[in-house]
Structure 1
């Protein structure tokens, strides 16, 4: 990470938000913006990886060792210059995936704490330019719960990012109850970021081509259909990529869930739910645009959950900030919808001031 020499300029001289078609300037906050630090990378890359995560981590370490991508992850002053050039006011930062989840708990817990301390320092150093999503180690649910409380309390961050499955296990499973209880009590939004699964490793499907959305969508549906959101109704989950395909399926999910509950509920051990699946989705999930600069898909998502449940995101450093902001500027939205996507929903969900 570069030093603080550019701080004053970063805080005072950033460009105005982009002009929208109607001429009014709209504040732009992007909320899936990854970073790392040299200290984190040096430590993490020297650690052993838990069984089953070796292929994913080999790929991610290759990415993080690429000079160009590494610089974009760790150089905060260069990031601010790129934000200014694109007309982006603020970024909600999160640790580059898959975070600390591929490591043994004895390594992952202190690694999460150290990174969160660094992230909080970055947010403090550049007031008004960054928010932060802390990281946690679900491998140790009690420690993860304590870290969520620290992230939302003394560190003053804005939520947490969980990189979906941990050793093939998902947050609906009973062992993660302390983590979910702490997130609900602390009002910590949980950004569910995808991870790789073995079934998608062939033909390049493992990452953003297909496997990412399928894996994160699976996690979200497990949370909905398991009854987890009846036990923790105050939780807020954030899904990138305009909902990981779920908005497209909502009508069929409701229809087929009702049919299955009537005809095969006992045989399939389906929990009895208080709401329909789509009602949980609209109540407990907020979507982001990250990497989905498609006006038709955006229209579908806004129609499915409403503009007050969709936020702008870039997916830095993996997508182009200028292209993403141009999409927000030119998408066929009303003025109120553009304001909600541009900053209003993010300010509410992440309590940004």
Structure 2
């Protein structure tokens, strides 16, 4: 096994997988009309070797983790999860997957933790499932793949889901997917990870910030991959232009009254992960945006190279405290992962 990162445990927190049973059931389902292009692309990925094996074979995943020096992976369902499917089927698929994920974590508690999946199509069922995820299943949070049928979590219909996440202290990993309004993204490959994914997830996060949702649910923890989906770069201008709009343009562009500035919500409620961004400058920007205690390491396996990600973590110009926080301490706090060799699950702390 490769040497630890500066002596630190390494936890990667955006690590996608699926069970063969989930893929078999999901691939037989009809898809909501607006999601067909995205789902057909992901189904092709999930059917094609070697990617299919990298998604479903957890024994091989452990071998690869050992080879690069990764101690633990926080597993999540391969995107876009259950959100493109009809409501009743999505609710049942989520429950079955979460049970399977919990069993995997139970069998390999020192190698895996897990983020459950829910079907926002039925916010009340999703709220109930969050209680099961964070309670008897013993998982570490939930993943939402951005919009659901073009609808976003700031909309009133999703209040039961967010209330449950806050009540159960379930971190919400807000993961990208293809944009909900794809017309401008269909050319030149823009709908995927080149541009559309981060534009979509960043939009969703900004809707949560500017809508007042985080005044109604101040205890929510939202996790953003890719070092913040571009928001840290824009944060100073976002605050500046939001203040201008409140002061000058409010009559023409009505804005909800907020208790904090957008930047203050970002620092209070958001945690960032490094997934897919092996860039020292962007990492420094993310650390300045949310603080040293709110950035976590992630690979985005199987879509990024674990060896490259670990090499970046080892070589990035960080203090010992920063490297320890990114490599494991923040993940242990945010996701309630027991410290190495601990026998109890620590209490989560809000960010």
TM value normalised by structure 2: 0.94
Within the candidate set 294, 302, 309, 1:324 is matched to 309
Residues 221-232 of structure 1 aligned to structure 2 (within 5 Å): 221-232=206-217
**1:17–1:28 CA contact under 8 A, matched in 2:** no
Contact 1:63 1:70 (8 Å CA) reproduced: yes
Counterparts of 1:204-243 in structure 2, within 5 Å, are 204-243=189-228
Q: Which runs of 4+ in 1 moved over 4 A?
A: none
Q: Give 2:287's match in structure 1, choosing from 302, 307, 313.
A: 302
Q: Deviations along 1:33-54, whole A, 9 cap, x unmatched?
A: 0000000000000000011000
Structure 2 residue ranges without an equivalent (≥5):
339-351
Q: Matched residues in 1 for 2:2 and 2:138: separation?
A: 27
- State the secondary structure of the residue aligned to 2:37: helix
SS, match of residue 250 in structure 2: helix
Aligned residues of 1:159 and 1:350 also touching (Cα < 8 A): yes
Q: How much has 1:17 moved relative to structure 2?
A: 4.8
* Counterpart check, 1:48 vs 2:30: yes
Unaligned runs of 5+ in 1: 1-14
Residue of structure 2 in register with 1:38 after alignment: 20
CA offset at residue 202 of structure 1? 1.4
Please state whether the residue corresponding to 1:191 is helix, strand or coil: strand
Residue 269 of structure 1: which of 241, 254, 261 is its match?
254
- Does the CA contact (< 8 Å) of 2:177 and 2:201 recur in 1? yes
User: Match of 1:3?
Assistant: none
Measure the CA separation in 2 of the matches of 1:190 and 1:239: 9
Q: Give per-residue Cα distances to partners, 1:150-204, cap 9 Å, x unaligned.
A: 0000100000000000000000000000000000000000000011021322101
Pick aligned residue for 2:87 from 93, 105, 108 = 105
TM-score (norm 1): 0.94
1-structure distance, mates of 2:98, 2:212: 31
Q: Distance in 1 between matches of 2:284 and 2:329?
A: 18
Residue 267 of structure 1 deviates from its aligned partner by: 2.6
Q: What is the SS of the residue equivalent to 2:116?
A: strand
Aligned residue-pair number:
335
1:80 paired residue among 54, 62, 79: 62
1:255-294 alignment runs, 5 A limit: 255-294=240-279
Measured after TM superposition, the shift of residue 269 of structure 1 is 2.0
1:70 alignment counterpart: 52
Equivalent in the alignment of 1:190? 172
118-127 or 258-267, larger mean C-alpha shift? 258-267
19 and 179 in structure 1: CA distance in 2 versus 1, 3 angstrom threshold: closer
Paired with 1:109 and 1:315, the residues of 2 have a C-alpha distance of: 25
Check the 8 A contact 1:141/1:178 in 2, yes or no. Answer: yes
